[in-house]
Structure formats: C-alpha cells, structure tokens
Structure 1
C-alpha cells in the first residue's frame, strides 16, 4: 500500500491557550476544524482536574513542531491518519501532556513520545513503573555490591571501584582478578572498563571482564545486550565473546544483542570496523558502519543498510522499532518493565510495527496505544498481562 505524506494543519496553540485562560468568547474566531479540536481539548481539560496544569507547563507547540518534523522526515504515515488524527481520544488526552502517540498498522506506525517531566515518581498500573539504573557488581573473591540507582555507571581500575561520577565505592584487593556486572529486568547500567572503553548494559544482561587487561588481547564475556564504545589500541584487539560468536575489534562502536531466548545473536556496527566469527570456526565476516551480522545455528548472515538507531537508541532512553512483529515488541516491554505477557490461545496480529517511544512512558499508556491499533486487549493480573482478541 502506498504511503502518503502526513501534513495535517497545525493547531493555533496561542489561540487555544488564550481561550482556555480567558472568560471572553473567542471560540467564534475558530475555523470549523479548530473548533472541533478546541472542544475536544476543552472537554479533556474539564474531565481531568490537573490536565490544564500539566498542559500549561509543557512546550506543546515545540513538541508539535518536533513531531511534525519527524513525520515529514519519515514520509511514511498512512493517509487515514489524517482523518482520525484529531478525533483519536487517546492522542488528545496525552497531547495535553505533550505525549504524542500516532499509530498506523499494516507495515508502519510512528510512535513518538515527548514528555516534559519524567514519570519516575508515578505509581501506575499497580506499581509497574519504567526501568532505571539497577545493577549488581560481583567480584571474583565473592564480594557483591548493589550499585547506587542514582549513579549511571561504575568503573574499576588501579584506583579501586568508583562510580562514573568519581564517588568512591570500595578499594580493590589484589586477589580480585575479574568482575561481573549484572543488570536485572527493568534495569540498565554503564560500565567503564580498565582501558577506558565504555559499555552500556541493557536489561537482563551481564558482562564479565578482568579488572586489569593483561596479555595481547582485551577479552570480555557478554550475556544479553550491550553497547560498546571501544578505545583504540593497535596492538591489543578487543574481543567480545557472546552466545555462539566472537567479535574482534581495535577501536569502534557497536551493539551486541545475545539473549539466550532470542533466536539469533545480533551485532550492529555504528562506526569503525569489526570482525564477527562463529566460535571454533575459521570464517570471519567484516562489518562496516550500517552493517549487521546475525549469528544463528552456527551460521552468520550479514545485512547492509541497517537503521542502527533501532538497535542502539535504548541506551539513550528510547525504544525504536522498525518493522518488528508484536512478539518482538512485547519481549522488549517485558524486559524493561519487568512484566510478563501470556497469549494463551490468542492469535497475535501479523502486522509489523515501526517507530519510536520514550522508555519512560507509563506502561498503561503504551499498552492502550497498542490495544487501539492491533485489535487486542491486555488484562492485567499483577505483573502478568493476558492478551485477548
């Protein structure tokens, strides 16, 4: 189906705000389309007591400009969105809070969120909140440390164990040779390795590494997903060992997703160059920026022209999808929100999804958006959601 340009008329936010904050009757100055938009917004403000307060604090027009720029950039929004854009109550409800949610199904949806204030303190969906900084550091001598959630990262070097901010955590005894950083569900954490390389670990992931790199190579072991920004060293390659494969680099930036319950291990290159090989096999595949290697059942398949942001934006607080099926989408939600989806006998939709959304979006808002577009329902029982048609 041909995609058409999405270019609805921009609302006059100044006029809307003047009317909302004035006793005078300006509504007669609205065009028919503006009148419908304003009435819907006014109804929602009256329906939710604090909606106007939130609305006035946020840069709604700026958010609209950002949203429209993204829509024009992709030029992939279906024409029918134009007709239902302002009549969609879910969109209007969160437009007042500068949360933009526009979905089209059958090949493409744009899910763009711009939240003026974080929702970290919100208690929603029976206590289910988005993930944050969580990690456990385990040393080779058996010592374990739960890391500070207010800190973004940790580093171990000859000066001891410190947070990325410089705050001291602990001294380091000589008997410690390795460390493992483990990130649970609904967590992420950053690590600075002894050579200065940086690693971002995603939910349900862990990295095991030496506290000092010795020998001719810098070797680390990854389970789950991590983004690597590797310091260049000509004479000491950096090697990442993960499920079914080894990656060798000198200095580069790349993402590796190697979850045990995923069919393939995915390596996506942002810059530089990497070599990907199946363990215990001689063949190596060299990647250049924008290329991706998928390792499955002892074989490697290479893709070109990959949207690297889809695979790396998670470290910046954004979930990016590109033609992903609902199973893959729900898998990401499960890891980040620490929930479980159960399908039972429900037949899941075959439509694919593309777009982006802040990972600070409340889960109830996210699921409502999916419900409205995929003709499914989520029934909640604690942290478990049953999917029904």
Structure 2
C-alpha cells in the first residue's frame, strides 16, 4: 500500500524576519506501524569531548577554548598556529623519514573548527567529531581519519593521492571538494561530492585480497555514496550538495527527514537529550532553519509549524504532539 501524505493547514511557515523556511509532512501513522516503524522514545548523541581539544604527537592536550592566538607548538619543524577558529600547519610538505607523527583535533557538541594542512588543503570539522592527520604527509600519500563530519577542499597534486578513512569507507582523491558524514551513532556513512572526482570503497574491500566491483565506486559531482553498518555494498544517489554542506554556514537543512533524524542533529549541536512522547513516530520535517544561538529559538520555530510541541527540563527536550 502506497504511503498517504497530507499537509496541515499551516504546513508551510515562512519567517521573513530571520529567513527561516520550515515545512512538514506527516505520514499515515497506521502505515508507519504496518511498515515496522517502532515508537520513538529518545535521542541521545555521543560526543568525544566536552571541550575542543588538539592532541599533539607527544601526547600533550591543548584546550582550544583557553589557548592564546598565535603559535601553539612546533612539531617536526612544522609550526602550528591558531586564530581562535582555525588551525594552520606550515612547514615542509613531505616527511622524508618512515615514521609519521600525527595530531588529532576533537570538537565538542555545538562547535566547529577549520584546519589548513601543510599542502594547503582545507578541512571544516563539524560538531562532535574528531580528525586525525599527519603533521607531515608521506611522500607517496596524504592520509587522514575522520569520525563525525567534515568538509574537505583538497589541493590537487598529481601522483599524491589524498585518502580519507572512516570506519566503513575509504575515500581516494587527487584534488576535489567533498563532505564526509561518519558519526558512530549513525547507521550510515555518507560521502557527498561537490567538485572533482573521488573513489569510494568499503573498508572490507580494502582489507580483502580481492575487491568486489560492488564495493567500490567513482562519484561525479552531485552524487552521494552511502554505506550502511553491517553491509558491504555502496548505494549511490543524486543529492543537493548545498544541503549536505549547509552546516558549514550554520544552517540546519532537513530533506523530508524523520523527526528522530532531525532531533539527532539538534542534539549534536545543542548538547541535549531528546525524549519523545507517544504520537511522534513517522512524522517528518523538511526545510531550512539557522542554528540559533539559543535552543528555545529553534524549538519555537519548529513548534510554530504545528507538527510538534515541546518543553524543556534541564538538559532534556521533551517532544510531543
């Protein structure tokens, strides 16, 4: 049976004063039950830290909230400087020795940072994420590891591929713009290509002696590769790339998403737990809305659609019909 959709009378809300556009649609709740959708209970997102941390190769931890602007450290001749929002690495591009020393930046909920690596590549790291990368790259490869979400603008270098590793994907590029979303508490890992070309493989196919063709794909701009936990295949689809990277501009963009997925993004940014009362399963939200400074501003805008009501108790948001 085909899903039946309908709109509330106030299905489309336009807040001209702040440029907020939110719409919502509700699926037939009996259909949701028939299709095995369970009742929502709560959303709790994980975070690797409660403050922004730069972990140096020698084990030192630098709290970026209390760090002074300017030079933070020098490792292997590479200068690490900080301007309050961005880390800059300047020094020799290539590590002539076999040993590679690495740094890790870890972001808490509600914060994002930018890095500029020695080769000129730029990386934007979203909230509740971590990125591990060499202070100097190897001569034959540039390789980083990501948990969470990051947007990459990689400097092109012939015969010097740039590799991004997640728990389930291996992404190879020469020079391109792309977004990777690989949160541990998400079921799917998503790589979205904005410009250029990337090759996406599953980690299982990289580790295996023989690669299966279904486990590797080359993306074109506007395509997204999705891998699911526990599965070795890659699903490729067309996507609005502006939606995928909207977080860089401090926007939430929801593409007819389940309320639980919407609130997962809210939880990561505002560091709150979401609890659902009965009647919320199967409801969806579409549109865009700024990352307001205060959580209640965002929730008031969502409540104005008529899709939900809410109340706050400490660090918990209770969502109801």
Which bracket does the TM-score occupy, shorter chain normalised?
0.7 to 0.9
Superposed counterparts of 1:335-350, under 5 Å: 335-343=268-276, 345-350=277-282
1:325 aligns with 2:258: yes
Bigger strand share? 2
RMSD after superposition: 3.3
Secondary structure at the aligned position of 1:370 is classed as: helix
1:140 aligns with 2:57: yes
The corresponding residue for 1:315 is 248
Q: Report the Cα offset of residue 285 of structure 1.
A: 0.3
> CA deviation digits over 1:253-305, x for unaligned, max 9?
0000000111110000000000000113123200010000001122210002x
TM, length-normalised to structure 2: 0.75
Secondary structure at the aligned position of 1:179 is classed as: strand
**Contact 1:278–1:298, Cα closer than 8 Å, also in 2:** yes
The corresponding residue for 2:44 is none
The corresponding residue for 1:8 is none
CA distance in 2, matches of 1:216, 1:341: 46
1:291 aligns with 2:212: no
The corresponding residue for 1:188 is 112
Name the count of aligned residue pairs: 272
The corresponding residue for 1:160 is 79
1:224 aligns with 2:148: yes
CA distance in 1, matches of 2:86, 2:305: 47
Bigger helix share? 1
320-329 or 347-356, which deviates more? 347-356
Q: Which has the larger radius of gyration?
A: 1
Secondary structure at the aligned position of 1:298 is classed as: coil
Q: Report the Cα offset of residue 215 of structure 1.
A: 3.1
CA distance in 2, matches of 1:190, 1:294: 25
Q: Report the Cα offset of residue 213 of structure 1.
A: 0.3
Secondary structure at the aligned position of 1:367 is classed as: helix
CA distance in 1, matches of 2:295, 2:86: 33
**Contact 1:139–1:176, Cα closer than 8 Å, also in 2:** no
Match of 1:178 among 102, 107, 122: 102
The corresponding residue for 1:99 is 18
1:256 aligns with 2:180: yes
The corresponding residue for 1:353 is 285
Secondary structure at the aligned position of 1:348 is classed as: coil
CA distance in 1, matches of 2:84, 2:112: 16
Secondary structure at the aligned position of 2:118 is classed as: coil
> CA deviation digits over 1:80-136, x for unaligned, max 9?
559x97xxxxx7xx76xx2244543227xxxxxxxxxxxxxxxxxxxxxxxxxx621
TM, length-normalised to structure 1: 0.63
Secondary structure at the aligned position of 1:234 is classed as: coil
> CA deviation digits over 1:55-79, x for unaligned, max 9?
xxxxxxxxxxxxxxxxxxxxxxx89
Q: Report the Cα offset of residue 349 of structure 1.
A: 4.7
Q: Report the Cα offset of residue 164 of structure 1.
A: 5.1
The corresponding residue for 1:209 is 133
**Contact 1:254–1:269, Cα closer than 8 Å, also in 2:** yes
Q: 1:156 to 1:309 in 2, by over 3 A?
A: farther
Match of 1:334 among 267, 283, 292: 267
Superposed counterparts of 1:262-273, under 5 Å: 262-273=186-197
**Contact 1:155–1:193, Cα closer than 8 Å, also in 2:** no
**Contact 1:156–1:193, Cα closer than 8 Å, also in 2:** no
Secondary structure at the aligned position of 1:105 is classed as: strand
**Stretches of structure 1 lacking an aligned partner (at least 5 in a row):** 1-77, 86-90, 108-133
